[in-house]
């Protein structure tokens, strides 16, 4: 059974950089059939796609966040990471990692449990 | 970006009622639409993809329809465990975008 697990700090100071890691078990992030992505959800609000990557190195970012986001991958650890710079209170959210279909369709079928990140001094 | 607009924003219905949620895209997206269910405090769960294909393990009381710009999610007989917020997501063109959600409650 595929499982994803986010890890990282729960509290980040304004202007600092958020670094989160998603560890995947029960499947390989090097699969040619899937993208792997990050989605966030501010408290009490809806879902926002942050970005996705394909194991070969292609990355895709939401233009609204593109200037501040980097997604990287460590295939040896079956992990991928999110880096978001210049954090503000508006970035306070639950951050999810998820598997995303590739050729078949770009829906998100497996999600991590999510990690709440609060931006506060 | 393609904007996804859901209606209503919330609804209250009785157990056994037929419930329909609509999702409208700001431009045509063929059938590249997914629906998710998020129960309170839980992770979003994929219900339907390709507008009408039920994800494995999802009860058959859930169904989806539509193409182009107008889509719907129907629960044929509302159950207490269906209390949740439902989101649509388009995957026709990046950036992938979600509707604002429809909260379903039991009357």
In tens, the pLDDT along A63-121 reads 999 999 999 999 999 999 999 999 999 999 999 999 999 888 899 999 999 999 999 99
Q: Which of B1, B34, B99 lies closest to A107 in CB terms?
A: B34
Question: Which positions in chain B touch A48 (Cβ < 8 Å)?
Answer: 98
In tens, the pLDDT along A20-51 reads 999 999 999 999 999 999 999 999 999 999 99
| Chain A closest-CA separation from residue B7 CA (Å) | 14
Whether B34 sits inside 8 A of A105 (CB atoms) is yes
Average pLDDT over residues B65-81: 98
Question: Which positions in chain B touch A112 (Cβ < 8 Å)?
Answer: 43
| Chain A closest-CA separation from residue B100 CA (Å) | 5
Report how far residue B41's alpha carbon sits from residue A9's, in angstroms, rounded to the nearest whole number.
Answer: 20
A95 Cβ under 8 Å from any chain B Cβ: no
Instruction: List the beta strands (DSSP E) in B18-83.
Output: 19-25, 33-38, 45-49, 53-54, 62-67, 70-75
Whether B55 sits inside 8 A of A106 (CB atoms) is no
Q: Is the pLDDT of residue A55 over 90?
A: no
In tens, the pLDDT along A15-27 reads 999 999 999 999 9
Q: What is the dihedral of CA B48, B49, B55, B59, to 10 degrees?
A: 20
In tens, the pLDDT along B20-61 reads 999 999 999 999 999 999 999 999 999 999 999 999 999 999
Cβ burial B68-94 (10 Å sphere, 16+ → b, else e): ebebbbebeebeeebebbbbbbbbbeb
| Chain B closest-CA separation from residue A102 CA (Å) | 10
């Amino acid at each position: 059974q595929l499982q994803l697990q986010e890890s990282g700090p729960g509290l980040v100071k304004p202007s600092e950089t958020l670094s989160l890691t998603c560890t995947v078990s029960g499947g390989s992030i090097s699969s040619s059939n899937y993208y792997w992505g990050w989605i966030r959800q501010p408290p009490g609000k809806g879902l926002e796609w942050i970005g996705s990557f394909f194991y070969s190195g292609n990355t895709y970012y939401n233009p609204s966040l593109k200037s501040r986001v980097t997604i990287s991958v460590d295939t040896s650890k079956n992990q991928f990471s999110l880096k978001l710079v210049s954090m503000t209170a508006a970035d306070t959210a639950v951050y999810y990692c998820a598997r995303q279909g590739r050729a078949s369709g770009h829906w998100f079928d497996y999600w991590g449990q999510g990690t709440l990140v609060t931006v506060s001094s | 970006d393609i904007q996804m607009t859901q209606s209503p924003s919330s609804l209250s219905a009785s157990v056994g009622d037929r419930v329909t949620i609509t999702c409208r895209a700001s431009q045509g997206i063929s059938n590249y639409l997914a629906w998710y269910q998020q129960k309170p405090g839980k992770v979003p769960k994929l219900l339907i993809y390709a507008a009408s294909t039920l994800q494995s393990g999802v009860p058959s009381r859930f169904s989806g329809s539509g193409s182009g710009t107008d889509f719907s999610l129907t629960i044929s007989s509302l159950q207490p465990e269906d209390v949740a917020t439902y989101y649509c997501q388009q995957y026709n063109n990046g950036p992938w975008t979600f509707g604002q959600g429809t909260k379903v409650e039991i009357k």
